[in-house]
Chains A and B, each alone.
Chain A
Amino acid sequence: MSLKAFHVVFVIVSSLLTAGFGLWAIRQWSVRGDFVSGMVGIGSFVGCAVLLWYGRWFLRKLKGVSWL
């Protein structure tokens, strides 16, 4: 597996983490009314969207590079 393939796996796992972290932070905000948690939750969802966009850009840019 090349760095290209491992990076794609990494971006997928990171996207899942940021989405999960966002849900966790929003839940914290809804239970405790904590402003920081709410902001972190929104920030995490934005981060997830950025990672997914980046993953797509990365795959397009490295079309000719081997997966192995």
Chain B
Amino acid sequence: MSADVLPYTVKPHPITGLYSGKFGMWLFLASEVMLFGAFFSSYILLKFSAPSEGAAAWPTHDERHLSWVVAGANTLVLIISSVTMVMAWLSLKGNNLAKGRLFLGVTAALASLFLAFKIFLEYIPHWHEGYTTSHSVFFGLYYTMTGLHGLHVIGGILVMVYFIGPGSKLWRSDPEYYTNRIECTGLYWHFVDLVWIVLFPTLYLMN
């Protein structure tokens, strides 16, 4: 039935060699690379065009008052979440829906933990200390880039929760199609984690 409406949801397309969902996801991720790339370019340009002294100077590592310990812990959380995401996909490939859903649940829980760390251990304390978006160009970019990344994390959690709950009905009618959808979710989640892996050293470690 679904193949009549949307062709190549399970079998690869003869030209691209990919099923439609995966091809669409890679096109979407290409647009995401451009979106985040624009922000990284802005960061680099603003950093290197900032004066070396004075109020408008780019803050040094110590002047940023960012906790690299919290960010490092968050990096570990996201790396583990990528592993559990792949385990969910592998479980479904092995025809084990219960295990697949369990690993998806663990991934969503880890993503929520990441957001909780970010909000309660970073954003709220910074905001109370006066490091708001208007504090400096650096903090403006910091909130924009990490906030945009955070929105992507929320998007990932929503998709995972959908596939654990109502979306899992698809398994009964077409398990391969459902497994492919989880693979696409995994591709998206790996991209979100890779963005953080670039954000972490850029914002927290580099002087």
Contacts and interface: CB of A to CB of B under 8 A. Distances in A.
Interface residues of B, number: 26
B194 A21 contact: no
B190 A40 contact: no
A3 B187 contact: yes
Contact of B205 (A24, A36, A68): A24
B91 to A, nearest CB: 12
A6 B187 contact: yes
A10 B201 contact: no
Interface string B186-207: 1100100110010011000100
B28 interface: no
Interface residues of B: mostly helix, strand, loop or mixed? helix
A13 interface: yes
A67 B90 CA distance: 14
B72 interface: yes
Nearest to A13: B197
Contact of A7 (B22, B69, B86, B93): B86
B83 A54 contact: yes
Contact of B190 (A10, A58, A62): A10
A6 B72 contact: no
A21 B79 contact: no
A47 B194 CA distance: 17
A59 to B, nearest CB: 12
Contacts of A6: 186-187, 190
Contacts of B69: 36, 40
Interface string B93-116: 100000000000000000000000
Contact of B197 (A17, A47, A68): A17
Interface of B: 12, 17-18, 22, 26, 69, 72, 75-76, 79, 82-83, 86, 89-90, 93, 183, 186-187, 190, 193-194, 197, 200-201, 205
